[in-house]
Amino acid sequence: MNNITRLFDFPYYQLEKYDLSDSLVTKYGNDWIKTSTKEYLDKANAISRGLLNLGVNKNDKIAIISSNNRTEWNICDIGILQTGAQNVPIYPTISSEDYEYILNHSESSYCFISDIEVYNKISAIKANVPTLKEIYSFDDINGCKSWKEILELGKDNTNQNKVEERKNNVLETDLATIIYTSGTTGRPKGVMLTHQNIVSDVLMSAKRVPLRAGDTRALSFLPICHIFERMLLYLYQYYGISIYFAESIEKISDNLKEVHPHVMSVVPRLLEKVYDKIYAKGADLTGIKKRLFFWALDLGMDYKPYGENGAWYEFKLKIARKIIFSKWQEGLGGELELLVCGSAALQTRLSKVFCAANIPVMEGYGLTETSPVISVNDMRNGGFRVGTVGRVIDGVEVKIAEDGEILCKGPNVMIGYYKDEEKTNEVLANGYFHTGDIGEIDSDGFLKITDRKKEMFKTSGGKYIAPQVLENTFKQSRFIEQIMVIGDGEKMPAAFIQPSFEFLNDWASRKKISIGTTNQEIIANKEVIDRIQEEVNELNEKFGNWEKIKRFELTPEVWSIDGGHLTPTMKLKRKIIKEMYTDLYNKIYN
């Protein structure tokens, strides 16, 4: 079966080519439970038969809301798609109101959920979703039907011929999924992706991601309801890679040591946290050990690929890898060969230092609307350049509009937003998808993202400010956890800063000073403000006079998804943050 055209073709291809004993692996209690490729497909077919017995028709919408990535998600995904129905994945931590909006907007008839928390949220709004017939849970929950009931309903395989008929009638151009993007403003938009959109993106990316087929383990923890992780899971299946699902972000360091993965995907925020932890451990060392640690770190900050720094640098790097960086690798399970990074801009220092530590981070770029990959770095054949998102993948065309916006065309571009012709026409004008990102392509074909078009602003002096560039630089300070640059139409740029309270407490105990016990006391402390001002002054030196952060205010709240400051992919909700801190804004600009 060489011809993969629909998403459910991937596991069949895996069965034929690799037939894994551990295709999907989830931890229940203390045990990692393996599902073979054959069992995965047997259960997916049982789900398809069960859904047919429930009367599910082609083009029905079935939602899945799961707090963690797990084997059941993938079984249900394939089971749903084989019937010609569409899978509508929903981000678990959004509000009940958003659940209600998405379930109604998509007219979902059934919903699979993971656990009691999701069940409580969905129960609160179920009565307001007239199309929703039933909810099935992966975990056993009192008063909620179990997904095993559908497996049971499909146990008798006499109607498998009907499943085959449905499967054969699914065209590659058919809609496969509607993914609602959280969006930094307004209601979520339903991105319609066909089988061809995602399959083409998987196969085009496959040539770019240096994965070893068979005998390789991936650790999956980024939310599968996002297209980035979901597309990677299809890619792993295509390569015959065993997928282990991490229990949660909190348990990731334990899971790394249990699974010893060779590959995993990350977002920049996670790498920032890993780096900060490593740095803190290094700072606590003493004597020669401490000197060696910072020597290796400085070396890593100067890293260039392909031996560009010369033989003497490479010799020193070899020593640093042996005595210092090998311990970083151990902390990440000891066998990591590749980190695939997406969702937001990665600080170049992190890209350099992890590559120096022999843990290559390949940064890529894309959007939900492009299934998602548009470009990605690849260590092989000179395809990696720090500070870029790699070269555009073969089969996709990118051009830069006159105003700098990145435009994209290819088989991976969505067919539109569900029930929203106006917004669809807006972004798919003149045959290209308008990404809303500003970027440039260098002479060697490497794409560089410079900012979000909508987020750039002008000061009252008419100077353009690119907030993301500033924010990424300022977040390099260990004192600064989050920062949002403001100043649209004002005389100068300024910022709201959420300090790293954990690091401030460490700093205060090292300095033997008292900065207060509550966040409110800490941000009002003069020594804290002065110290952060020092950081701001130092980092300001990297920018032109008109771009420098002239004033800032500290916020006591820790910015979070639940607090409404961040989208589920950890992007700043700028409008909302600005409204939350109107008083601080007025204080800055009088």
DSSP assignment string, 509-551: HHHT----SSHHHHHH-HHHHHHHHHHHHHHHTTS-TTTS--E
How much is the pLDDT for 371?
A: 98
Q: What is the pLDDT of residues 189-224, one digit of tens each?
A: 999 999 999 999 999 999 998 888 878 999 999 999
What mean pLDDT is reported for the chain?
94
433 shares a domain with 296? yes
Domain boundary among 137, 170, 203: 170
161 shares a domain with 35? yes
270 shares a domain with 331? yes
CA 63 to chain CA mean position, Å: 20
Tell me, yes or no, whether 194 lies in a domain.
Answer: no
Q: What is the pLDDT of residues 97-150, one digit of tens each?
A: 899 999 999 999 999 999 999 999 999 999 999 999 999 999 999 999 999 999
Higher-pLDDT residue of 163 and 469 is 163
Q: Report the C-alpha dihedral over residues 157, 163, 168, 169, rounded to 10 degrees.
A: 160
Tell me, yes or no, whether 177 lies in a domain.
Answer: no
Total domains present in the chain: 3
391 shares a domain with 309? yes
Q: How far apart are CA 496 and CA 195, in angstroms?
A: 43
Q: What is the pLDDT of residues 247-267, one digit of tens each?
A: 998 899 999 999 999 999 998
Q: What is the mean pLDDT of residues 338-342?
A: 94
Tell me, yes or no, whether 251 lies in a domain.
Answer: no
423 shares a domain with 344? yes
470 shares a domain with 428? no
95 shares a domain with 19? yes
How much is the pLDDT for 1?
A: 53
561 shares a domain with 415? no
Tell me, yes or no, whether 339 lies in a domain.
Answer: yes
Tell me, yes or no, whether 182 lies in a domain.
Answer: no
432 shares a domain with 465? no
Q: What is the pLDDT of residues 475-516, one digit of tens each?
A: 999 999 999 999 998 989 999 999 999 999 999 999 999 999
Q: What is the mean pLDDT of residues 149-166?
A: 97
Tell me, yes or no, whether 294 lies in a domain.
Answer: yes
160 shares a domain with 53? yes
Q: How far apart are CA 470 and CA 484, in angstroms?
A: 9
Domain boundary among 144, 170, 196: 170
Of 77-81, 132-136, 426-430, least confident by mean pLDDT is 426-430
106 shares a domain with 81? yes
The CA radius of gyration of the chain, in Å to the nearest whole number, is: 25
Q: What is the pLDDT of residues 48-74, one digit of tens each?
A: 999 999 999 999 999 999 999 999 999
* Percentage of residues of the chain with pLDDT beyond 70: 99
How much is the pLDDT for 570?
A: 80
How much is the pLDDT for 184?
A: 53
Tell me, yes or no, whether 256 lies in a domain.
Answer: no
432 shares a domain with 328? yes
Q: What is the mean pLDDT of residues 345-369?
A: 94
Residue 207: closest CA among 417, 424, 392 = 392
Could you tell me the CATH number of the domain that includes residue 58?
Answer: 3.40.50.12780
Domain boundary among 412, 431, 453: 453
Could you tell me the CATH number of the domain that includes residue 563?
Answer: 3.30.300.30
Contact (CB, 8 A) for 566 and 572: yes
Tell me, yes or no, whether 197 lies in a domain.
Answer: no
Domain span holding position 571: 456-589
